[in-house]
Structure 1
Amino acid sequence: MGGALMELVVRAVIVFFFLWAVTRLVGRSTVGELSTFQLVLFIVMGDLVQQGVTQQDYSVTSAVLAVGVFALLTLALSWTNARFPRTRGVTQGIPVVIVENGTPVAKRLRSERMSIDDLRADARQHGIRDLADVEIAILETNGRVSFFTRSGRPEPPPDDPSPIM
């Protein structure tokens, strides 16, 4: 029984780091920005992970152990980020300047897999009509964009980001 539980822990560790790598590679989309396909893909991936970790073992012990390993690894990553700030670039990413002096930085937009249309839509949601009004825009590690206009103040998102027709 002990060997099976240890195998479950090893499987959970491997799958945890695999999922971490996949989410880092997928990009900085937040849950509210996922397409329907991406959302379904992540749900299916969750089921596949469960099967891969527990080998179709439906016992409560295996479920608790697998979730416990994921929780401990999540806490370990959080502790590492807090204790060693230099690791944040690897574990969470770094903010990226995507607009400088009103001009989108096409190379960075491509590397972050963000379209100019998405950038413009995000600017509109912050009440910015024209990117020329933006001194700098930064794609944050959480997937949101911070806009700083020529007035020197960050543009807060409006209360109701939906356009009035």
Structure 2
Amino acid sequence: MTYVEILIRTILAVGLLLLIPRILGKQTLSNMTFNDFVTSITLGSLAANLAFNASLRPSYIVLSLIVITAMSFLLSLIALKSRKMRSWISGSPTVLIENGKIMEASMRKIRYTLDSLNQALRERGVFNIEEVEYALLEDNGRISFLKKDAYRLVTKQDMGLPQQSQAFPVELIMDGVVVEDNLKLHGLTREWLEKGLRQKHRGKKLTDVFYAVRGTQQQLVFDFYEDGIEQPLDQE
């Protein structure tokens, strides 16, 4: 009976952990603010106890999970309504580089080292700190930066080139299955897809396609089950 109880408790814990982020919103996963960090740690601890700690009554732990979820949801609403409370609940960005100058006092205040700053910039593709005009440590612990004008990439607008509008990519075949809903939503048909396949790849059928997408320039891209690669690079 103990094994059965642990099995049921574990399934309940996983189910609750899948449900709670849907209630709190996607920011809990993508934007780990102070509030989200505390909530995640607490929920993980409570869920672990619910799954394995047979000495605690499940009803007590479920009640704690509900209270934590409600508190986090309430704090999120308060942060949404009040700018002052938002700074305390979610935190606020810290300027680390201003006008190309490293803000040592700000870094000491948040106990952020030069090694951490250089590492964060390298992870974003910046190896020379002299290229950075502004850098901020965001609420979620990530670095945002603005390069100096001399180091920014040239755009079509800078060069005076004509600009084309782009469409959102539409996935047409996923795992070898035609996504009929996407075809209908965008006024496309299976016959149109087959015609596009024949034009780009003669002799191929839809059953040969593993993945297909209509790209940002309305172009069709196909990937087939048979790649024609005899020795893949990751093959041992």
TM class by smaller structure: 0.5 to 0.7
Task: Compare relative contact order (CA 8 Å, sep 6+) and give the higher one, 1 or 2.
Answer: 1
Q: Pick closer, same or farther for the CA change 1:153–1:73 going to 2, 3 Å.
A: farther
Of 118, 121, 124, 1:120 maps to 118
Partner of 1:83: 81
Normalising by structure 2, we get a TM-score of 0.41
Of 147, 151, 174, 1:149 maps to 147
Normalising by structure 1, we get a TM-score of 0.57
Gaps of at least 5 residues in structure 1 are 1-22, 32-41, 51-55, 156-165
State the Cα deviation string for residues 98-154 of structure 1 (Å, max 9, x = none).
Answer: 011222111111111111011011111111121111100011111111010012898
Partner of 2:93: 95
Moved over 3 A (4+): 152-155
Of 66, 69, 82, 1:68 maps to 66
Quote the offset at 1:86 in angstroms: 2.3
Quote the offset at 1:70 in angstroms: 0.4
Aligned partners of 1:103 and 1:131 also within 8 Å:
no
SS in 1 for 2:62: helix
SS in 2 for 1:122: helix
- Decide which structure has greater helix share: 1
Aligned residue-pair number: 112
Partner of 1:133: 131
Partner of 1:35: none
**Take 2:132 and 2:152, find their aligned partners in 1: how far apart are those partners?**
10
Aligned partners of 1:81 and 1:88 also within 8 Å:
yes
Which amino acid in structure 2 is aligned with residue 124 of structure 1? R
**Take 2:151 and 2:128, find their aligned partners in 1: how far apart are those partners?**
16
**Take 2:93 and 2:84, find their aligned partners in 1: how far apart are those partners?**
14
SS in 1 for 2:95: strand
- Decide which structure has greater strand share: 2
Partner of 2:56: 58
Gaps of at least 5 residues in structure 2 are 1-32, 154-236
SS in 2 for 1:78: helix
Of 109, 112, 115, 1:111 maps to 109
Identity of aligned residues (%): 26
